[in-house]
Structure 1
Amino acid sequence: FIVWFNYVFAGNTVTWYDLFASTTTCYVFYAVIRCSWFLGVSLWEIGWQSYAEYPTLRDLLAPPEPLGPSSPRLDGQNSPAREVVPSPMSPRRSVSVPGSAKARRIDRQAKMLLYGPIMVLVIVMAMFGLIPLLCDLGIWCLRVDWLQGLADASSRLNRMCRFSLLIGLFQWTQQFQFIFPRWYRAAGVGAAKSWRSTLIMWAGYCVLGPVSVARLLQWAFFPLFGLNAAGRTSVYNFIVPQLITEGVSAETMDGILILLWMLQLLYASHIVVKEINLSDWQKDAFYDDSMWLENTIQFKCMFLVPMLLLFFRGFASPAMGFTYAQNDLIVLTLVYPALLVLVWWCTYAYISLRHVKLPRFMVAATLTYFVSGTICEIAGIPAGGARLIVWAHLMRQLIKRASIPLLTATHSASSKTSLRQTHGMERSWCVLLMRVSLGLVGLFLGVRLAFGVLASIQENQRLYPQVPFIQMDKASASSVTVDHAIMSSSFARDASLGHGPRNIARYAVCDQEFWGLHVTDYGMMSLAAYFTAVEDQQAAVDAFFPSQGMKVVPAVEGDDQFWVEIQVGENLTVIAVKGTDFWRASDYNEDIRMWTEPVVTSLLSTVFPTVKIWSPGTTAMVLDAEQEILSAMGIPRPDYKLTRVIDYVEASADRLASREVVFTGHSLGGGIALAAAALVNKPVVAFSPPGMYQSISKHLYRYAPDRRQAFQATHNQSVTIIGENDVVSHIFDTHAGLVQTITCSTEHLAMVGCHMLENTVCNLIRHCKGSRSRHGFDSCRFEYDSKIIMASVARMLDVPY
């Protein structure tokens, strides 16, 4: 379809290689969508498993026995010939004891569940600990852009990944303690059989224990006592002064310390399993409902307690604050579930591939890695994240086909049915909510696709209706009428159009000048930008500002320019950006693209109310991370329209060096003007724009990477005029800088009237009587009149009007 569309509407020739490249491109994006779906479904399932006390994990550790004819019934009605003594065990356990072969399989599967998670934690922690260590020592540094956040030990992402791994280690230790209550006795006896084991065991605990306690106390309390860098890392200065002297950071040493603890506990568990009879192995605990419930509650608390400690540590610190703590908490709540999915999936693969030879599996993994790289090269997507996703998708398909069923595979359907029946009402509501959310996402993507296709067709075939969208009528030297779509506005330099109510209140901006002009002057210039031809733009400027000597700079020949440069005197240039064109699908597509993230954030806040208390810094961090992920995945992001405005200003830098440049615009044009002004550090006056306070972060990531997350740029030299009951100004993002809210005199009519620029300018003229404006209009009238649209339609149909 993509090749056909490209050939028919873009006129490009198509070869077999193009067809093959398009197919691989589609597969890359399919792999991204499929892996994202897998992650979402896994998080959904893990959430419900946590809510239902992990029934699937319990089935793996204690598979339920099928009930035979001689087994006791679960409804409590036993056979009268045989009285069954009540047991504290769950009825999931049959009276019959499984055979020796099956018992060995259960024990082997349980051991895999014990070793699998800790092995995954060790491997992941080794990456987060050793890569920064090698870089700090100057041996080798990871130079991949999209992995810098993971390779830098001081970055927030790396810190939260280490903290998530530490929580995982706590939870694994808690489970180990639950399964082997007297593990220390088994470890002592097992280690005593070899002097090497004794040395590793007790020397490790004697060294790691005091260092960890001291480091934990420093980490927990240094924000409250304001310790300097030396005070925060004094334990490492005492233990490994040479490494600290050579530039190894305390964050890197924290990762090494966690890794050593993982290796120590892994070795201890290996010894305990050898002497398992001395550890009071609670094998029956998996069958006892009360003991399992207590275990799962402790497992959840091992996550909640460190998470709350992390938040309140930052919240109570005068050196960090609420935003810092909130950002850490949000990253943690995203990283920890992903780590849980990784541990669960790797453990599942470890168990289900137990019959596969390791060398054979490693060869297959290596081949699929090279195949994924080849696919991405053919598709023209060099991003490393895309290659990793394609490799993960291929590996998942390989594991699914090479794996054998788990011991509880025959009970999976019944387990899911039991889960749905146990929490039927809650799960039904959540499923309904998810389906509605997915429906909204599908609707949004459909609208985006429709506008994108229509805009491409319209742009390539130049399918623009030859009907005027705006026209001006200069009745006399003192009055001007502008017909704009379904609106008609008249401006007069006398009181012929009426002054409105007496003693009308004045706005705060009425007696102010911004960079040499009044706000109504900028409004009239924004109205002039809606005219298409340069001659019409110049005529509108001359009618709005007679005898002012303002000049419109002509656009480059053949350039479809959607802004107008107006030279005001010798030292001032105003760049007025046109708003949404009624006939252009690309403008509607641009509206959706530029403000997708704020709308999604608003929708999320209805499901997750805590989103409403996100600070601007937190929102900027989330949007910046979204752009980082899209860039790493190689997902194409076409240039925004503001790119052309920025390029125009930068290309004209020499010509405009001696002039003050001010941006202005209305609606979409106002939003583009706000973004462009923030990116090139210029002043702006915008009318009825969507907000730009949150959205600016993604534009900073793209156009000003040296100022990423510097969302405060929208406060600088920014003036915004918004009207009451204007939907566009209130539902898309929030506003920054100086914001003047005005009334809407047409709120009793159609809602679109409160958004129209002419209505806003008329309102300002009435409320700012006697202001020092350049246009000189003293009265105005705004009304609904669709004569320009009706005349255009009549002309197209060749009927009289």
Structure 2
Amino acid sequence: RVLILAASASLILVAVRLCTYIRDDGAVLPVLVFFIWLAMAGEGLRIMRRWTNLVQALSTAGPGKRAKSVKFAVDSSVQDSLGMKVVTILVRVLIASMLSFAAVLGVCAIAAAAQHSVGLFVEDIVVWEEAKNELVITNAGASVLTMRRSGVMGGSASRGSTLPSPQDYMACGNTWYGLQLLDYALLSELPYIKPTAKNNLPRLLNLLMPHVNISLVQTSQEVGQRPWMEFELRGHPTEDSRPLSVVAVSGTNLDRVIDYLEDIRMWTEPIVLTIIYTLFPSTRSWSRETTALFIGSMHRMMAAVGVRDDRWHYDRILQHVRNISADGSRQVVLTGHSLGGGIALVVGALAGQPAVAIQPPGVYHSLAKHQAIQQGSHELEGSSALHKKSLSLVVEGDWIQHFDQHGGLVQTMACDQIGKSLAAGCHLLEGAIFHLARHCGDVANRFTEVNHHYDPTAATMAVLRTCWQVALDLLDWKATVSSIFGSAAQVQGILVAGVAVSAVA
């Protein structure tokens, strides 16, 4: 017993030393010390078993004698049973999944750091142009939205001068803080466009929203943060007559690897829950509070061992929304498309502000992670923070929406590109704008005709041309390698957090 106590005390000291060594600030985390000690103690017991059996065999073995092994509480022959074999296979599958997930995160993190250091970005993915009486928005050269403006056609405007207003969906004709769904969809398009003199965003904003007094107040293209814009509406009817600020968040940019990394990190836990539901169907009866406890506990455990997964692309957005809504002098609404819509829902729930999301992935379960990480006045409201003040517009056939379940008010629309759904034909913001204009009309009478064309082959060729250009730029391998390792400090935290998430999950 004395020997065991002495060995345990020695291992605790070693664990404390290792903990202070791996931590930059030298802090000692009790949970981390415990797990290090537990791992070393388990390995020590396995080594002791092997050496004890070896010593016993050497001391008793001889001519005509049969070696006897030391009997332990757990018979090692149990390991040969069918149950243990199944458990071993499952553990190996889980370890392989964990390593694969960590490898994907690592590759994305290194590629994102290299891309940022070398500057391998496409200048403009989404562009717009004003041609006579038409406004054309092109996304990646494949999705083309054409809007014919009213009041500029002269004598030719006699037939079909305004869009029909069939009101095909329950959400049609309704407004949220004075704006209809079509308005929020149009505002969600703007953050995809880089605010340069060539793009002239104020002019585009006036063309898209001529019926309101709206101005572009602030744009953010900060590295490592999600691009977003703030619009201010004055003299527009709202519920309480306060000025309205609309914060529009950009979705995934096709040329940015870091955006795909953020997508993976945002919706890791719901995918893990889906796997658990498949393997153990009875877990589908878990309440949202149960899954929130599971997800929140996982991240609190990570924080307890010193792995902080609290840096997200929405940090600046959340801080800004809290600042401008702190005094209550203005109404704030968040909006966005795809990843931007998911972030709008998360930030709205954390800050207690309404959100109108266009084709977002669900955040019903993944919200628990952000509530556990972020410190805010609404973090204890659970799913009610999402249900009270959120509207999600989802499209049938859009596989992006199935990453998690949806909460709050949900309006489902049909897809006009259902035959191209696998090529993201039902996830295009331009397609959603076209469908809204066609089936809900335009109350503001801005457009007389709206058309949408999608050619995924053109997008594929654009991606191939971009990859070819990137390959040419990467021929200078020395500069590329130095850039990657020069940014190693930026990706270290993401790599550690990714391994920890996959291990705990």
Length-normalised TM-score, structure 2: 0.76
- Residue in structure 2 matched with residue 596 of structure 1 by the alignment: 268
Pairing partner for 2:98 from 424, 429, 441? 441
- Contact map agreement 1:624 1:709 (CA 8 A) in 2: no
- Residue in structure 1 matched with residue 178 of structure 2 by the alignment: 516
Residues 435/464 of structure 1: CA separation in 2 closer, same or farther (3 Å cut): same
Number of residue pairs matched by the alignment = 427
Residues 359/618 of structure 1: CA separation in 2 closer, same or farther (3 Å cut): same
Q: How far off its partner does 1:463 sit?
A: 2.4
Query: Structure 1, residues 237-281: CA drift from partner, whole Å, max 9, x if none?
Result: xxxxxxxxxxxxxxxxxxxxxxxxxxxxxxxxxxxxxxxxxxxxx
Pairing partner for 1:480 from 125, 128, 135? 135
Q: How far off its partner does 1:541 sit?
A: 1.1
- Residue in structure 2 matched with residue 628 of structure 1 by the alignment: 300
* 1:725-764 correspondence runs (5 A): 725-729=397-401, 731-751=402-422, 752-764=424-436
- Contact map agreement 1:701 1:709 (CA 8 A) in 2: no
SS of aligned partner of 1:783: strand
Q: Which amino acid aligns with 1:538?
A: P
Q: How far off its partner does 1:694 sit?
A: 0.8
- Contact map agreement 1:383 1:634 (CA 8 A) in 2: yes
Residues 473/787 of structure 1: CA separation in 2 closer, same or farther (3 Å cut): farther
- Residue in structure 2 matched with residue 681 of structure 1 by the alignment: 352
Report the Cα distance in structure 2 between the residues aligned to 1:795 and 1:449, rounded to whole angstroms. Answer: 20
Q: Which amino acid aligns with 2:450?
A: C
Any gaps of 5 or more consecutive residues in structure 1?
Answer: 1-357
Q: How far off its partner does 1:434 sit?
A: 5.4
Report the Cα distance in structure 2 between the residues aligned to 1:678 and 1:557, rounded to whole angstroms. Answer: 23
- Residue in structure 2 matched with residue 452 of structure 1 by the alignment: 109
Percent identity, aligned pairs only, is 27
Report the Cα distance in structure 2 between the residues aligned to 1:503 and 1:567, rounded to whole angstroms. Answer: 27
- Contact map agreement 1:624 1:708 (CA 8 A) in 2: no
* 2:286 corresponds to 1:614: yes
* 2:188 corresponds to 1:530: no
Residues 412/398 of structure 1: CA separation in 2 closer, same or farther (3 Å cut): closer
* 1:355-504 correspondence runs (5 A): 358-380=1-23, 382-403=28-49, 404-405=52-53, 407-408=70-71, 416-417=79-80, 419-420=81-82, 435-459=92-116, 461-476=117-132, 478-485=133-140, 486-493=142-149
Residues 709/609 of structure 1: CA separation in 2 closer, same or farther (3 Å cut): farther
* 2:205 corresponds to 1:541: yes
Q: Which amino acid aligns with 2:194?
A: T
Residues 447/498 of structure 1: CA separation in 2 closer, same or farther (3 Å cut): farther
- Contact map agreement 1:715 1:737 (CA 8 A) in 2: yes
- Residue in structure 2 matched with residue 566 of structure 1 by the alignment: 231
Report the Cα distance in structure 2 between the residues aligned to 1:438 and 1:778, rounded to whole angstroms. Answer: 58
Residues 415/383 of structure 1: CA separation in 2 closer, same or farther (3 Å cut): closer
Report the Cα distance in structure 2 between the residues aligned to 1:556 and 1:591, rounded to whole angstroms. Answer: 19
Q: Indicate the larger mover: 485-494 or 742-751.
A: 485-494
Q: How far off its partner does 1:398 sit?
A: 3.0
Q: How far off its partner does 1:452 sit?
A: 1.6
Q: Which amino acid aligns with 2:41?
A: M
Q: Which amino acid aligns with 1:757?
A: L
- Contact map agreement 2:165 2:439 (CA 8 A) in 1: no
Q: How far off its partner does 1:634 sit?
A: 1.8
Pairing partner for 2:395 from 723, 727, 730? 723
Q: How far off its partner does 1:465 sit?
A: 2.4
Q: How far off its partner does 1:514 sit?
A: 0.3
Q: Indicate the larger mover: 367-376 or 599-608.
A: 367-376
Q: How far off its partner does 1:569 sit?
A: 1.6
- Residue in structure 2 matched with residue 225 of structure 1 by the alignment: none
Report the Cα distance in structure 2 between the residues aligned to 1:663 and 1:526, rounded to whole angstroms. Answer: 10
Report the Cα distance in structure 2 between the residues aligned to 1:493 and 1:750, rounded to whole angstroms. Answer: 29
Report the Cα distance in structure 2 between the residues aligned to 1:489 and 1:768, rounded to whole angstroms. Answer: 17
- Contact map agreement 1:482 1:490 (CA 8 A) in 2: yes
Any gaps of 5 or more consecutive residues in structure 2?
Answer: 54-68, 151-156, 236-242, 470-505
Pairing partner for 2:437 from 749, 760, 765? 765
Question: Higher strand share goes to which structure?
Answer: 2
Report the Cα distance in structure 2 between the residues aligned to 1:632 and 1:794, rounded to whole angstroms. Answer: 43
SS of aligned partner of 1:753: coil
- Residue in structure 1 matched with residue 485 of structure 2 by the alignment: none
- Residue in structure 2 matched with residue 507 of structure 1 by the alignment: 169
Report the Cα distance in structure 2 between the residues aligned to 1:415 and 1:511, rounded to whole angstroms. Answer: 68
Residues 397/503 of structure 1: CA separation in 2 closer, same or farther (3 Å cut): closer
SS of aligned partner of 1:565: strand
Residues 393/542 of structure 1: CA separation in 2 closer, same or farther (3 Å cut): same
Q: How far off its partner does 1:633 sit?
A: 2.0
Q: How far off its partner does 1:462 sit?
A: 4.5
- Residue in structure 2 matched with residue 669 of structure 1 by the alignment: 340
Query: Structure 1, residues 596-634: CA drift from partner, whole Å, max 9, x if none?
Result: 001100111110001211111211121122122212222
Residues 505/512 of structure 1: CA separation in 2 closer, same or farther (3 Å cut): closer
Q: How far off its partner does 1:397 sit?
A: 2.9
Larger Rg: 1
Residues 497/369 of structure 1: CA separation in 2 closer, same or farther (3 Å cut): farther
- Residue in structure 2 matched with residue 777 of structure 1 by the alignment: 447
Q: Which amino acid aligns with 2:322?
A: E
Report the Cα distance in structure 2 between the residues aligned to 1:377 and 1:673, rounded to whole angstroms. Answer: 39
Report the Cα distance in structure 2 between the residues aligned to 1:709 and 1:547, rounded to whole angstroms. Answer: 37
Length-normalised TM-score, structure 1: 0.49
* 2:318 corresponds to 1:646: yes
- Contact map agreement 1:745 1:763 (CA 8 A) in 2: yes
What CA RMSD, in Å, does the superposition of the two structures yield over aligned residues?
3.3
Q: How far off its partner does 1:505 sit?
A: 6.0
Q: How far off its partner does 1:557 sit?
A: 9.1
Q: Which amino acid aligns with 2:345?
A: L
Question: Higher helix share goes to which structure?
Answer: 1
Residues 462/532 of structure 1: CA separation in 2 closer, same or farther (3 Å cut): farther
Residues 505/438 of structure 1: CA separation in 2 closer, same or farther (3 Å cut): farther
Q: Indicate the larger mover: 779-788 or 385-394.
A: 779-788
Q: Which amino acid aligns with 1:465?
A: F
Q: How far off its partner does 1:362 sit?
A: 1.7
SS of aligned partner of 1:686: strand
Query: Structure 1, residues 274-311: CA drift from partner, whole Å, max 9, x if none?
Result: xxxxxxxxxxxxxxxxxxxxxxxxxxxxxxxxxxxxxx
